[in-house]
Structure 1
């Protein structure tokens, strides 16, 4: 007897929402045969970033020696150079929202009850604008939850249920100057030997055949020209899509590098040149937008294309070209994004 079901149901079953959007759904409470006396039924919407990591620090162990007395001969003690480790932990958190919404509340001396059977209590609660996207990394995360609490009369246990939601921050490529850069390109060359050798450079010219801004799921076309004027018998080119996450605690930071995709291009023999064309970089679905598209001082997420030219003996040159991953594409409106996420445009407030 008592509470059988207590859960939160959303109109959007994916539980994915845009920053600034209303969460719409219902709290379902199913009670057995006898009505349940309550003080209130309340919702709490909260979200925060948390970062934490440990850096091992080495230090020399203090020297110790046996004291010399008249009763004992002098003893020489040698000290090893072993180092002990002292771990230093960095952690911090940052809150983005903490909002309450009361669904049922006891008034005066009148009893407040939830009747037997299945009861559904509708709700609307607004996500703040400008909050960062949900994110999960090695040393930190950004998470959002909607929590429901049934507060019981004094001396009885309260009931709680919680549901994690997923927030997409708004990064509009149409209004981001870096994303609008047309056909970004770079050139790089190096001598893969000492300066005294009669050896020419190895280098490449690389360019994106479009804008620097993309959406998850896009195909990014590119063109690369490679030349090998060195003594290396052959050089190879490869391309990686890299996600770089930087975690901040005050003036200290920790960088996490994640390889999302890798492509291998053509090889170029000694004294020759080549072109890499006809392929594209697939931007994986579900990527959080650059900078998490919101006000987050603890976690920053950036993306780049990393181009590497390598010889058979592993000597290499590398350079990176930044790109921007957004949530609203070029020539696209917010309404199109809402429709693609199967959201109700009437419940969106920006």
Structure 2
């Protein structure tokens, strides 16, 4: 072949861009022999697509209906070399000489588009494609899949919804009676509570978990889970398990246990909101699943996955990290899931999202310094607090004009 290599070189090695950002790069072609072509073009495309099945029961007859919905955000083509007439047809025959050729280009990503997403039989995908247009034979192409991100700060959109008073945690409770042949029924229960609703990938979520086994039979595994709920076309829903952390192996008959601030680090995943997308909707929940004989207790609370941490948290370090693959259930297999996520040449593609490797909470760090046994000024502040009968706080906070110096520790 005359064309020995064709590639798209972009300025961003990670292929991560934000809506409204400019993409700069070049289409690089290596030619071993002169070749006659119509021209060279580059194509930028962004679209959302979802496919799902619906079963309709009409008496004894059952019909399976396949639905497919697509939404195109942009599909732009630009001529890099050659000439196109007013009917968008190539009207030139150009000779591309032997050697290495680079055709630079730049493109501004539209602003009002959702971020990238890959799921089973659904995606929001953005691509850039370089094309050598030939008169005879198939066109020679190369393509790269891009990750397009958009920051999501739910506090700016729903500040009242995210504000949870300390005395009113976000919680859920499940309870059920387990019957026995020779004894009276026993009751089993589980409850889950978290103190805030919005989190960012990489942040450690802390949950209060209470499980009680008042039956005469031993329970099985208790686990804390992060689940992703996908809504296709506003009518069909599917739930994926993203994270599954084992809380305990089992509970004996009559035993009840309480875990306070049980940690769960959130994986790299898509934000909760896909802006301007009518094909897909993404939601999340934190769930506690307790397995008992003949029943499974399930309690869940909704959470919001954002990209901007709280103002009281300082991002120590963040990176772009590949999205986590969902945990495959027993009725699925990895090959079918990957095939549903990304078909053809994009089978292994996963978007990259902003991931916070370490978050420092200024409030907690400040209280920790004051709790040190030989921290300077603690004794004086405690004596001062005793003189104030209305002061019931267990943690003493610094005044605006005071500070703690580490070099003065004993």
TM interval, shorter chain, is 0.7 to 0.9
Deviation at 1:9, TM superposition (A): 1.7
State the alpha-carbon separation in 1 of the partners of residues 199 and 63 from structure 2.
44
* Aligned pairs (5 A) from 1:172-321: 172-177=153-158, 178=161, 181=164, 184-192=169-177, 202-209=188-195, 211-227=196-212, 230-233=214-217, 237-248=222-233, 253-266=235-248, 273-277=256-260, 279-285=262-268, 287-291=269-273, 293-311=274-292, 313-321=293-301
Aligned to 1:140: 122
Match of 1:79 in 2: none
Counterpart Cα distance in 2 of 1:39 and 1:336: 52
In the TM superposition, what is the alpha-carbon distance from 1:95 to its structure 2 partner?
A: 0.8
What CA deviation, in whole Å up to 9, does each residue of 1:36-62 have, x standing for no partner?
A: 4444322111121122223344556xx
Which of 108, 129, 141 does residue 160 from structure 1 map onto?
141
| Unaligned runs of at least 5 residues, structure 2 | 86-90, 322-410
Q: Distance in 1 between matches of 2:138 and 2:312?
A: 50
SS of the residue 1:279 aligns to: strand
Match of 1:124 among 106, 119, 123: 106
Q: Is the 8 A contact 2:175 2:190 kept in 1?
A: no
Alpha-carbon distance between aligned partners in 2 of 1:32 and 1:182, rounded to the nearest angstrom: 70
Structure 2 partner of 1:171: 152
Q: Which runs of 5+ in 1 are unaligned?
A: 61-82, 343-350
Higher relative contact order (CA 8 A, sep 6+): 1
Deviation, 1:322, is 1.0
- 1:186 CA drift (Å): 0.9
RMSD, aligned CA: 3.6
Q: Partners of 2:174 and 2:58 in 1: how far apart?
A: 41
Change (3 A) 1:306 1:19: same
CA 1:274 to 1:16, structure 2 compared with 1: closer, same or farther past 3 Å?
Answer: same
TM-score, normalization by structure 2: 0.63
Task: Compute the displacement of 1:114 (Å).
Answer: 3.5
Q: Which residue of 1 aligns with 2:64?
A: 87
TM-score calculated relative to the size of structure 1? 0.73
Over 3 Å counting, the alpha-carbon distance change for 1:336 and 1:21 in structure 2 is farther
Indicate the structure with greater helix content. Answer: 2
The structure-2 alpha-carbon separation of the partners of 1:14 and 1:54, relative to structure 1 and needing over 3 Å to count, comes to: same
- Partners of 1:226 and 1:155 lie apart in 2 by 70
